[in-house]
Amino acid sequence: MLRTRFAIAALLGVTLAAVAGGQDRAFTLNFKDKDGKPAPFYQEMSTEVTQHIKVQGQDLPQQQKSTFWYQWTPVKEEKVKEGTEEVTKWTLKQKIEGLKMNIDISGNPINYDSRTTDPSGSAGNPGLIEFFKNLKDSEFTVTLGKNYKVEKVEGKDEFVKKLGTGSTQMENLLKKVMTDEALKEMTDPTYKLLPDAPKKKGDKWEKKTNLNLGPIGSYELTYKFTYAEPDKEGANKDFEKLEVETVINYTAPKELTEGLLFRIKEGSKLTSDPAGSKGVVYYDAKNQRIDEATLTNVRIVQHDAVEVLESMVAPASLAAIHVFFPDPWHKKRHHKRRLIQAPFVRLLASRLAPGATLHCATDWLPYAEQMLEVLGAEPTLVNAAGDGFAPRPPSRPLTKFEQRGLDRGHGVRDLVFTRRG
């Protein structure tokens, strides 16, 4: 059985612009920020696979969970004529910012997480761990044409050389697997999510693709979409709703390939389990972004903030950081314990993308004054309010600590700083 669950979370800025035309809605990608300038965006893709493999008569069940984090950077927008139609083409840089792999082969775990060093199980297969390490920071240049179809992918030779690590057999395998068409499928930033024409409620459509991985076999993927009625209640009731089912059929390779690390001699035609391949995409038309797609884009980490930022967050990768009502540590001898100190602010600023926002709030005036001084002294930040405190943004929620301060008669101060470009 092959069970695959597909998930994509559009992080920090990839948006879908929905334009209503009568009862139809057109979905288009927007690679620009609110000022109309090209802006990076981030994606997360998680996959779970269960396989039953027989090697030389021995059963080797394998379970694999993988997560990849991608950064996409728009490089060029170009208007071209194709016949009588003007088409917008985009050139994007795709970078693998990080990855997490959890593999179990007959009870033998192999674990890798690019955000940590020497995770449990990483010593089980040093060659495979080295392969995962080389995946991180790999880059491709992708050209998108009409309907965001991938027309060209550059960077294949460098990618194969990097992963081959001097092994002729590995390089030969990668060259057979990483065909041009396979690369186009793997670097598609839309993941077949967007319809090619406007849709109305109740419409159904499919997208099919074939992924031939040479000596590994081929995959036929079918994405089935339904533009459903929105939820009647709950947190997602105000969002547009797309139901998605992914059907995957695997076929073993028909021809043997010499000179590789292995050969798949025979295999059954396998089909994904429909129960594990269904998802829902919630689209926020008002704010023009995907709110949720199978997996939410919210991550809760209960850990030291300094270590999280240092080890789990890439530099210049965040669109905003919110620090609301941290402990003021009222006594003078405890001021050194306050969160907003120069070294921590320097770390926060390093994780913000150019133009991104650092928003702090407190109900303790002496702490607010210290925050203003420390933030103002950081050379990479600029005060969005000029010299003083900012008016309270309407988007900031009321927290229990804020309400407690208001009940005690405290004034609340907001501080909003942006990262210099």
Reported as a single tens digit per residue, the pLDDT across 88-104 is 999 999 999 889 998 88
Q: Does 214 map to a domain?
A: yes
Q: Which of 277, 296, 315 is the last residue of a domain?
A: 296
Q: Does 277 map to a domain?
A: yes
| Residues 279 and 352 both lie in one domain | no
Residue that wins the pLDDT comparison between 342 and 193: 342
**Domain limits at 31?**
7-296
Torsion, CA 408, CA 409, CA 410, CA 411, rounded to 10 = 150
Give the type of residue at 9.
A
Q: What is the pLDDT of residues 73-89, one digit of tens each?
A: 999 999 999 889 899 99
| Residues 67 and 200 both lie in one domain | yes
Q: Which of 279, 296, 313 is the last residue of a domain?
A: 296
Whole-model pTM above 0.75? Answer: no
Q: Does 1 map to a domain?
A: no
Q: Which of 296, 328, 358 is the last residue of a domain?
A: 296
Residue 297: what pLDDT?
37
Residue 53: what pLDDT?
63
| Residues 97 and 134 both lie in one domain | yes
Q: Which residues contact 346 (CB under 8 A, 6 or more apart)?
A: 378, 380
The answer to whether 159 and 141 have CB atoms below 8 angstroms apart is no
How many other C-beta atoms are found inside a 10 Å radius of the C-beta of residue 399? 13
| Residues 282 and 314 both lie in one domain | no
| Residues 174 and 317 both lie in one domain | no
What's the mean pLDDT when you consider all of the chain?
79
| Residues 325 and 285 both lie in one domain | no
3-state helix/strand/coil string of the chain? CECCCCEEEEECCCEEEEEEECCEEEEEEECECCCCCECCEEEEEEEEEEEEEEECCEEEEEEEEEEEEEEEEEEEEEEEEECCEEEEEEEEEEEEEEEEEEEEECCEEEEEECCCCCCCCHHHCHHHHHHHHHHCCCEEEEEECHHHCEEEEECHHHHHHHHHCCCHHHHHHHHHHCCHHHHHHHCCCCCCCCCCCCECCCCEEEEEEEEECHHHCEEEEEEEEEEECCCCCCCCCCCEEEEEEEEEEEECCCCCCCCCCCCCCCCCCEEECHHHCEEEEEEECCCCEEEEECEECCCCCCCCHHHHHHHHCCCCCEEEEEEECCCCCCCHHHHHHCCCCHHHHHHHHHHEEEEEEEEEEECCHHHHHHHHHHHHHCCCEEECCCCCCECCCCCCCCCHHHHHHHHCCCCCEEEEEEECC
Q: What is the pLDDT of residues 305-332, one digit of tens each?
A: 787 788 778 899 888 899 999 889 999 9
Residue 261: what pLDDT?
53
Residue 285: what pLDDT?
64
Q: Does 227 map to a domain?
A: yes
Q: Does 2 map to a domain?
A: no
Q: Does 276 map to a domain?
A: yes
Q: Of the residues 157, 238, 304, 327, which is catalytic?
A: 327
CATH assignment of the domain containing 349: 3.40.50.150
State yes or no: is 414 an active-site residue.
no
Q: Does 263 map to a domain?
A: yes
Residue 57: what pLDDT?
64
CA dist., res. 393 & res. 399, Å (int): 14
| Residues 131 and 230 both lie in one domain | yes
Q: What is the pLDDT of residues 25-46, one digit of tens each?
A: 666 677 887 778 888 877 777 7
Residue that wins the pLDDT comparison between 265 and 366: 366
The answer to whether 245 and 215 have CB atoms below 8 angstroms apart is no
Residue that wins the pLDDT comparison between 113 and 414: 414
Q: What is the pLDDT of residues 395-415, one digit of tens each?
A: 787 877 888 889 999 999 999
How many other C-beta atoms are found inside a 10 Å radius of the C-beta of residue 72? 22
| Residues 46 and 153 both lie in one domain | yes
Please count the structural domains in the chain.
Answer: 2
Residue 240: what pLDDT?
79
| Residues 242 and 140 both lie in one domain | yes
Which of 205, 280, 207, 206 has the alpha carbon at shortest distance from 241?
280
Q: Which residues contact 90 (CB under 8 A, 6 or more apart)?
A: 31, 74, 76, 77, 78, 143, 144, 148
| Residues 280 and 327 both lie in one domain | no
| Residues 154 and 135 both lie in one domain | yes
Give the type of residue at 92.
L
Q: Does 323 map to a domain?
A: yes
| Residues 45 and 77 both lie in one domain | yes
Residue 4: what pLDDT?
33
Q: Tokens standing for 402?
A: 């804020």
Q: Is the dihedral of CA 375, 380, 386, 392 positive or negative?
A: negative
Mean pLDDT of 162-190: 80
